[in-house]
Structure formats: C-alpha cells, structure tokens
Structure 1
Amino acid sequence: MRHLHHLALATILAALSGFTAVSHAQPAGQPAQPVAAAAQPTPPAAAVPSVDQAVGKVQGFYEKTTSFKANFNQEYFVKAYNQRKSSRGKVTFAKPGKMDWVYDEPKDQRIVSDGSILRVYEGANKQMYEQPVDKAQYSAALSFLTGQGKLTDHFNFEIAGGEKMAFPGGYVLIGVPKQPQAAYTKVFFYVDAATSQVRRVMVLDGQGNRNKFDFENPRVNEPVTAEQFKFVPPHGTTIVHP
C-alpha cells in the first residue's frame, strides 16, 4: 500500500503543477516572452517577487484553466541507494478533479481519477488499486485541484531566487504543508518569472527522496470527454482497496 500512496501523491502533485504551468496569459503591459523548449526558463535572472505576489499569480492563472494536456518526464531519486529512476508519458487533467496519466515507460501503467475514484493500475503486477477521492490521504492537494481550495489553504510558502536554485530566469516557491503529511515534507514549484508559469515540480519526502516532474508540449483548455477518465482494467486484474 505504500507504493499506492507514493504513486498517487506524485501524480496528484504533478497534475497540480502542470495545471498551473501553462494556463497563463501574458501580464498586461508586458511584451510577449518566448517559451523555452526545455523545462528551464530563459535567463537572465529576474527580480524575486514577494511570496504573496508569486503565489497569487500562480493561483490566478490556475483558476482560469479548465483542462491541461502535456507530455511529462519524471525522475525519482532514492537517497538511501543513490539511485534514479526515469519515467515518461502523457497526462490529461480536467476540472473537477479528473486526471489521466498514461505511462509510455514503464509500459502498462496508468493512473486515472474520474473525480470520485482514484485508480492506480500496474500492468506488470496485474493489480489495480482503488480508493475514493474523498478518502485519499492527499485530500488537501485534491481540494486545490478541484478548485475548492487555494495553495495558501494547505501550504506555508517560502521563495528562493532562481540563481540559488539552478533555475536562472525564474524563482522557486517552496511549500511546507500546514498539516504534517506522512508521504512528503516539501513541494518545490519552479516558476518562470516572465510568465508566472510553473515549469517543474519536485516533491521531497522525509527520507530525502525526490520525485521531479517536467512538462513538455503543454496545451490548455482543449476539449476533453468524460469517457477518457473511465478505466476498465484487463481481464484477470486483481482489484485492491486500501
């Protein structure tokens, strides 16, 4: 069950970061800025805003977005063994609380929420974990995703300059959960200063493990259908309930 919790958390927080990442219109009175092909924003280093200003912009952009699609690259670092594991795939997210993570690597892995039930399918083990969204350990993150909460409802934030965090041209919002969480201690949001877009999210747990997501080829507010968020596993799959 530890694996279910880790995986569900990672994808929920990734969806959160991606959903805020590309929904942003250019601020009034500023010229359009080119979007870098890579995850990193374009130098030079920018002035670091206040925490309230930065969080407010990200929150505001998120609220304008109804759907988000992107390719994602994930890197999970296990500190105790000094090992890294990379994954990739495609994600679709839509309000309220719907998400669909299709992994290209590893194959046959999928995470789907129709807004009511969270399903984590592992083809290699022929198992699927199911849990009601409102019973999930990560309800705070989910409430923000479904538009029922704000970042500041659930996190206390600090801000760090991009140069310090090896993220030139931007800054990093460091969120500490207001209520202690067993699965994570901090969430890092890497924000492009020119557009207020979140380009990357990284989750840190109590053991020093890091789960990092970068989003590529993002599209927002494209039509999605309810059928995409309905998943029936292959015959013979074992269904596990926490």
Structure 2
Amino acid sequence: MIARITVLLALLLLAATGAQAADIAALTAKIQKQYQSMNSFSADFSQRLQNATSKETEVRTGKLVFAQPALIRWETVVPEKELLVVGKDAVWNAFPEEKSAYRYSVEEVLGSKTMLRFLSGKARLSEDFHIQQEPDATAGQVKLRLVPREAEPGLVLAYAWVDERTNMLTRISIEDFYGNINDLTLSNVTLNAKTSPEQFQYTPPAGYSIFDNEALQGKKPQ
C-alpha cells in the first residue's frame, strides 16, 4: 500500500510539474508576442541598487521610453541626472554633473544579460533561462524565478514580475556574481506611447569628456 501511495504521489507531482511547465511556456510566449507586437511604451521607474559588500542601497527614479526595434531612452532624475540612450548605432551614457559621456556598441549592451536586455524584449525567457513560478506574487501578477542557462558575471539569478492583463514585465530584479542587486519597478506604463526619432539620438554637448568603449571597464550600463 505504501509503495502504491508513493507511486501515486510521484505521478501527481510529475503531472503538477508538467502543468506548471506548460503554463510557464504559454506565459513566456505571450510576453514575447507582446514585446514583438507593440510599437513602443513609456513608464516611470524606481530602481534600487544594493551593494552586497557595504550593504548600502541607492534608489533612483526617473522615466524611460522604449520603441521598436530596440531603442531606449532612460532618464534618471533622482538622486542625480543621468541619461542613457540606446540608439540604432550606439549606446550613450551621459552624466551631466560630471560633464562626461560614455559610448558603447549596441551589440555589447543588448547582447549581454543586462537590465536593458529585459526592457528591450531581447531576453528570450524560455531560451535563456530555466524558469519556475514563485508563489508570492501580488494579485494580478505572476512572479518568475529565472536561472540563466549560461550564467554571466552580471547575472546569476533574476526574478521577473509579469502583469497578467498586459503580459508586460512590471518589475525585474537581477543578482550578479558578487551578490549585488539591481531591482527595477515600472509604473504608469503606457503602451504604444508617442515617440520621436530625436528621443533616441544623442550628441555630447561641447565641453564634455567622451570615453569610447575601450575605456569603459568602470561604468557599464545596467
């Protein structure tokens, strides 16, 4: 009898696991379809950066805009102004108070597992990660635990919260190899927001120090 119960429990567990896998596959397909079908979106953001060594936490707030195919304008207002522009040909990260601007290649930034890869829809969840659904999501959202199939120093574990109504990512939390946390929450999300090509172009003002990607070891976009 005990053996039969054990087998039955094992079969029920397999069935539940299979059902969850099917649900996750369906959800990730909906997310991918949403990001591919929309023209743009805008949102306010709150970003929490936590240093694993010092335990210090910094909170940044601002606004971001996304437009197809993978254009992003990310403006931080608090605690200090910072502008990140992912354009067609280059990525610029500008710091007005320092009067400096850093230039990256688009492939370098969107090709690695950074926050920008999630926001641009370039992260293929089902292909890039082993996925499990977490039980502690708030109402109307699904929380996913993402373990990269190929870990990078910048991402060893992530969590993603998905709006069940829009199939949009509303929060992403990334942990790197050192245990540092980059946690981004989006609010006031507007789908198919009005954008202009000028929003995704950037030219450093006169007097700015400009650093190309060979000198970017210390500051890489998140």
Q: Normalization by structure 2: what TM-score?
A: 0.76
Task: Verify: 1:69 aligned to 2:42, yes or no.
Answer: yes
Identify the residue that residue 133 of structure 2 maps to in structure 1. Answer: 159
Distance 1:146 1:74, change over 3 A: closer
Aligned position for 1:84? 57
Q: Note the 1:7-86 alignment, pairs <5 A.
A: 50-86=23-59
For 1:143 and 1:207, locate their aligned partners in 2 and report how far apart those are by CA, in whole Å: 20
- What are structure 2's unaligned runs of at least 5 residues? 1-19, 214-222
Letter in 2 for 1:53: A
SS in 2 for 1:52: helix
Q: Match of 2:31, SS? A: helix
Gaps of 5+ in 1: 1-47
Alignment partner of 2:80 out of 101, 104, 107: 107
Relative to structure 1, the CA distance from residue 94 to residue 137 in structure 2 (aligned partners, 3 Å threshold; closer, same or farther) is: closer
Aligned AA (2:131)? F
C-alpha distance in 2 between matches for 1:222 and 1:192: 18
SS at match of 1:179: coil
- Count matched residues: 192
Query: Given the superposition, is the C-alpha separation of residues 177 and 137 from structure 1 closer, same or farther in structure 2, using an over 3 Å criterion?
Result: farther
Give the drift of 1:137: 5.1
Per-residue CA deviation, residues 38-70 of structure 1 (Å, 9 max, x unaligned), is: xxxxxxxxxx77321221222222222110101
Give the residue type in structure 2 aligned to 1:202: S
- Name the CA shift for 1:90/1:143 in 2 (closer, same or farther; >3 Å): closer
Structure-2 residue corresponding to 1:21: none
Give the 3 Å change call, closer, same or farther, for CA 131–88 of structure 1 in structure 2.
same
Contact between 1:96 and 1:145, CA under 8 Å: does it hold in 2? no
Whole-angstrom distance in 1 between the partners of 2:50 and 2:117: 27
In structure 2, relative to structure 1, the CA distance for the partners of 1:201 and 1:239 (3 Å cut) is: same
Q: Whose radius of gyration is greater, 1 or 2?
A: 2
CA contact (8 A) 2:130 2:148 kept: yes
Q: Which residue of 2 aligns with 1:223?
A: 194
Output the aligned Cα RMSD. Answer: 2.6
Shift, 1:80, TM fit: 1.3
Does the 8 Å CA contact 1:95/1:147 hold for their aligned counterparts?
A: no
Matches of 1:50 and 1:77, distance apart in 2: 32
One-letter identity of the residue aligned with 2:157: K
Partner of 2:156: 185
The verdict on how the C-alpha distance between 1:63 and 1:137 changes in structure 2, with shifts beyond 3 A counting, is closer
Change (3 A) 1:145 1:153: farther
The corresponding residue for 2:13 is none
**Aligned partners of 2:139 and 2:69: how far apart in 1?**
34
Q: 1:233 to 1:183 in 2, by over 3 A?
A: same
The answer on 1:122 being equivalent to 2:92 is no
